[in-house]
């Protein structure tokens, strides 16, 4: 049967793809098959992919909060929107956890114009101008024009360095996105020796790997997190689920003005995810 994507496009239902995505989140083969069967029994023609996702998430929550968090990760990145501000903050936090020294919203002069750099990162005497490209719908791919634009910014900065007698070779562009790159974007990045990180790119070392390997889950993976609670936590520079660990329920209620139920639930979920 056909199901409906977020864009409204009708596509054939793929049970194998669904089961694989649940297994990749960490569920056992047996649990994945059981959940897929439970979903298929309730599935009607034209049902949305969002409905299927939510059903799978509820089933996974009964098995493991940690597995459900990993399954929700991609949509949790979507929920960092609607603008790219929180995503930039999140990217900086990920880079810091990977031992980069960072600064956000750095102004750098080029030969022609001044550029605002989303995240400026340094490590091992290498300097990265990070373009954090956020989409609030992960089905929208990051195209070659985004990569070319980032490359042009670097070249403008490098030309100014050369004119000032500085060495531009240790400065590199780095595009980080929560979506997939198009094949043309990947080809251009490879040709220009650019650093690109997106969803499942590079293979087995993409954004999700940087997150999962160090349990750098965004707070939006927490099922009980409300939009109001998210905004309050982000206001205090708390974008990782693990940032909540040092707080008691009472402290969450007092400092971040969370109600009793929300504070209790998200604290329990964080401990389950980080265990």
DSSP string covering 111-165, please? Answer: SSSEEEEEEEEEETTEEEEEEEE--SSTTSPBPHHHHHHHHHHHHHHHHHHHHTT
The reported pLDDT for the residue numbered 109 is 95
The reported pLDDT for the residue numbered 26 is 87
pLDDT in tens, the chain (275 residues): 889 987 788 999 998 999 999 998 889 999 999 999 988 888 899 999 989 998 999 888 888 888 888 899 999 999 998 888 999 999 999 999 999 999 999 999 999 999 999 999 999 999 999 999 999 888 899 999 999 999 999 999 999 999 988 888 889 999 999 999 999 999 999 999 999 999 999 998 999 999 999 999 999 999 889 999 999 999 999 999 999 999 999 999 999 999 999 999 999 999 989 87
The answer, yes or no, to whether the previous bond of 202 is cis (omega within 30 of 0) is: yes
The reported pLDDT for the residue numbered 58 is 87
pTM: 0.88
Cα–Cα dist 71/48, whole Å: 17
Cα–Cα dist 33/12, whole Å: 19
Buried b (16+ CB within 10 A) or exposed e, 72-106: bbbbbbbbbbeebbbbbbbbbbbbebeebebebee
The reported pLDDT for the residue numbered 168 is 85
Q: Which of 46, 70, 97 is nearest to 56 (CA)?
A: 70
The reported pLDDT for the residue numbered 256 is 92
Task: Compute the CA torsion angle 29, 35, 36, 38 (nearest 10 deg).
Answer: 150
The reported pLDDT for the residue numbered 254 is 94
Cα–Cα dist 44/257, whole Å: 41
Q: What share of the chain is helix, strand, coil (3-state, %, to 5)?
A: 50, 20, 30
User: Domains (ranges, CATH) in the chain?
Assistant: 2-63 (no CATH), 85-212 (3.40.1350.10), 219-274 (1.10.150)
Residue 97: alpha-carbon gap to chain centroid: 15
pLDDT tens, residue by residue, 168-188: 888 999 999 999 999 999 999
């Amino acid at each position: 049967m056909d199901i409906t994507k977020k864009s409204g496009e009708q596509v054939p239902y793929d049970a194998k793809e669904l089961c694989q995505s649940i297994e990749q989140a960490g569920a056992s083969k047996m649990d994945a098959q059981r959940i897929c069967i439970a979903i298929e029994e309730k599935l009607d023609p034209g049902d949305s992919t969002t409905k299927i996702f939510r059903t799978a998430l509820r089933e996974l929550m009964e098995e493991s909060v940690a597995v459900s968090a990993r399954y929700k990760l991609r949509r949790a990145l979507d929920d960092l929107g609607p603008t790219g501000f929180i995503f930039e903050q999140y990217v900086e936090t990920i880079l810091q956890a990977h031992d980069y020294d960072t600064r956000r919203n750095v102004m750098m002069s080029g030969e022609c114009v001044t550029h605002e750099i989303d995240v400026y990162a340094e490590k091992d005497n290498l300097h990265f101008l990070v373009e954090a490209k956020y989409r609030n719908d992960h089905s929208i791919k990051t195209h070659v024009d985004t990569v070319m634009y980032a490359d042009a910014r670097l070249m403008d900065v490098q030309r100014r360095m050369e004119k000032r007698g500085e060495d531009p070779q240790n400065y590199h562009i780095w595009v980080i996105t929560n979506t997939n790159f198009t094949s043309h974007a990947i080809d251009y990045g490879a040709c220009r020796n650019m650093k690109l990180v997106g969803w499942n790119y590079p293979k087995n070392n993409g954004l999700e790997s940087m997150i999962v390997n160090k349990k750098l889950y965004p707070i939006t993976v927490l099922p009980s997190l409300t939009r109001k609670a998210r905004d309050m936590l982000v206001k205090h520079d708390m974008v990782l689920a693990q940032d909540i660990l040092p707080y008691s329920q009472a402290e969450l209620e007092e400092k971040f003005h969370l109600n009793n139920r929300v504070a209790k639930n998200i604290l329990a979920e964080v401990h389950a995810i980080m265990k």
